[in-house]
Structure 1
Amino acid sequence: MNEDEIIRLMKGINKFPEESELSFYDDAWAFRTGGQYFTIATDMLVASTDVVKGTGLEYVGRKAMVSSISDLSSKGVRPKYYMISVGLTREIGMKGVKTLARGFSMAIKEYGGYIVGGDTNEADDLSVCVTSFGTSKYPPVRREIGKEGDIIAVTGTFGDAAAGLKIMSNEARDKAYRRKFLRAFLFPKARLAEGVALSRANVLSGCTDSSDGLALSIYNLIDSSEGRDMGVRLDLLPHSEELERFCLKNGLDLSELVLHGGEEYELVAVVKRGRWKTAQGVVEKAGGRLLKIGEVVHDRGVWWRRGNELVKVERRGWRHFVNVR
């Protein structure tokens, strides 16, 4: 049993609606009504599998919100309403619930929108499910790989959050950059302004957000493009200088953290060939940055140009139900 098998099972329950603007395998679902595109995204966080021991509940609440908002960001849609369902243990108590809610409030202040409802239940483990809703006159950006020669770009560096996780799990140490890496892990950013700007400029062939790792995000873009025998060649791995020093100090593989670490919530965008300068310009105007890391090639898979050799990148990242039958 794995996530892909479960998704295929759910897809087969009924015929997919003809009015769908996004595929079943996308980051969100959308339909058009009254001249507007209505987009919905949902994400669930469970403490035992998604939360590191010692993480404050305000960070848990905020991160649950950011996960859902990030999905809408990749579609170029600004969230307007949220429904939040929580499963709460008795041990959390009202004080803990207030702390969790403070995290929800933090996200609302950052990204806007209104909490309009949800559900509560008693549970053996803390769980938070956030469903985000948004409308736009622009069609949502699909999770697709585009055409040969299109540019693969990201809105930031990768691996810092994975470094923060290793520090929190006592698997690595770094006094100099401890605060930077912990903040990357505990306080991720949804690239909403960047996603909206790219969508309105009509410069993308496809887009997704990266919560499960850069490599898996790119494979998701490829797999969502049915019938296209396309792949991606990475010409560089987007990482900070601090991460490089951190890996050297702790004897860690830099490429492992960048490609397979996860938890960044950066956008992985496919920019149309010939539209790079426009894409870069609108993102910078929105207060962000866009880094060119590779391009779409006619060779299925993800390939990394490491020095003079071309290495196939493993399809790995964060996955639930690993080794579960």
Structure 2
Amino acid sequence: MSQRLNEIIKNLAKKMKRHPRTVLTWYDDAGGLFLDKEQILIKVDGFAASRSKYPWCSYKDFGFKAVTATVSDVYAKGCRPYIYAVSIGVTPDKVDLIEDIIRGVEEAVDLYGGYIENIDTNVGMDLWIDVFALALCKYLPIPRRILVGDAVVLVNKVGLTSIAYNEYIKGKTPRDVDVLNTSCKPTVSLNLVNAIDVIRPAIVGSIDISDTVYESLEHISSLNNAGIYINATASELLHPKAVCYAYEEGIDMRSMFLFANEEYTPILVIDEAYIDYVIGNLRYYGFDVQIIGTGTSLKEVRWRGEEVKKFMWSYELGKVVEI
């Protein structure tokens, strides 16, 4: 079903009327355009509770997470959210949950900044939320782009989400507080967009990790008819708690990295000539930045010459699958 959905979207993209001053491709994480001399970003994101809410999380968390998902893409483009509109759907027996969801939305907007200007509510067969954001950009929004020789950089180590997901698959609730917070109420660092302002001339491309890490790498690779050669060790890219968990559970650490999902941290593609400058500034702003690898002409993602496991989020199944 996912492949068929992608085919439909690609066909629609060829026919869709777009703004004449658009600056990002249809397949990017957001829409960007020039409007009255301003650089504007438009983003909408959403999900259903049956697919994106862990049983140990609250519905207030669900609302907060939806805003984070939208803001993550906005920040990855180097922009700041300004105006929000929210659409919420609930089942007939859960109408009272709208208040909790909206309180979560409000808390997130208070954190990230901006204003809620419109809320729409619906009743249907599932509980879901969509968050729209109009954002302002100081510089040209960062596209999904990679060239041969570019450095691929992970802004923060990942893997706490891998722990949460694996515990969920086992039918358990995580005990670690950091894992619980990351899976229920993820946040994007407020310093991220400030750091990107400083290093913007060195950034070639970006994408946030909202599905799996593999998908983020594959999306950059396939869109640019290029490849990514991962040269780091998995333990360098994983949060220390994820490294320990993988060791204790007997999980391959490369897999632990590749199926990390909903991390809401960006992968940046950097002009190799500026890599030291970028790493220095990101660390100054408090990020545990790591170099994943390099852009290549191989047109696929490989890890030190080996094929990688292709972990992708299945929307119809509501779980990560290996294809």
2:81 and 2:113 in contact (8 A); partners too: yes
- Cα distance in 2 between the residues matched to 1:230 and 1:52: 34
Q: CA deviation at 1:302?
A: 0.8
Q: Secondary structure at the match of 1:12?
A: helix
Number of residue pairs aligned between Structure 1 and Structure 2: 313
Q: Which amino acid aligns with 1:208?
A: I
Q: Once the two structures are superposed, what CA deviation does each residue of 1:188-247 show, in whole Å capped at 9, x if it has no partner?
A: 22245324422453211100001111111011111222xx44433332331022212212
- Give me the TM-score of the superposition, normalised by structure 2: 0.89
Q: Secondary structure at the match of 2:214?
A: helix
1:1-325 mapped onto 2 (5 Å cutoff): 1-2=1-2, 3-94=5-96, 96-145=97-146, 147-171=147-171, 178-191=176-189, 193-201=191-199, 202-225=201-224, 228-237=225-234, 238-305=237-304, 310-321=305-316
**Aligned Cα root-mean-square deviation (Å):** 2.2
Q: Once the two structures are superposed, what CA deviation does each residue of 1:149-182 show, in whole Å capped at 9, x if it has no partner?
A: 211111111221121123244456875xx22222
- Cα distance in 1 between the residues matched to 2:190 and 2:291: 19
Q: Secondary structure at the match of 2:9?
A: helix
2:32 and 2:41 in contact (8 A); partners too: yes
- Cα distance in 2 between the residues matched to 1:174 and 1:304: 30
Gaps of 5+ in 1: none
- Cα distance in 1 between the residues matched to 2:193 and 2:306: 30
1:35 and 1:137 in contact (8 A); partners too: no
Distance change >3 Å, CA 118–CA 105, structure 1 → 2:
closer
2:85 and 2:118 in contact (8 A); partners too: yes
Distance change >3 Å, CA 150–CA 11, structure 1 → 2:
same
1:203 and 1:275 in contact (8 A); partners too: yes
2:54 and 2:183 in contact (8 A); partners too: no
Q: Secondary structure at the match of 1:295?
A: strand
- Cα distance in 1 between the residues matched to 2:259 and 2:153: 17
Query: Which moves more between the two structures, 259-268 or 235-244?
Result: 235-244
Q: CA deviation at 1:257?
A: 2.3
Runs of 4+ in 1 over 4 A off after TM superposition: 171-175
Gaps of 5+ in 2: none
Q: CA deviation at 1:144?
A: 0.9
Query: Which moves more between the two structures, 118-127 or 2-11?
Result: 2-11
- Give me the TM-score of the superposition, normalised by structure 1: 0.89
Q: Once the two structures are superposed, what CA deviation does each residue of 1:288-324 show, in whole Å capped at 9, x if it has no partner?
A: 332212111222111112xxxx21223332132469x
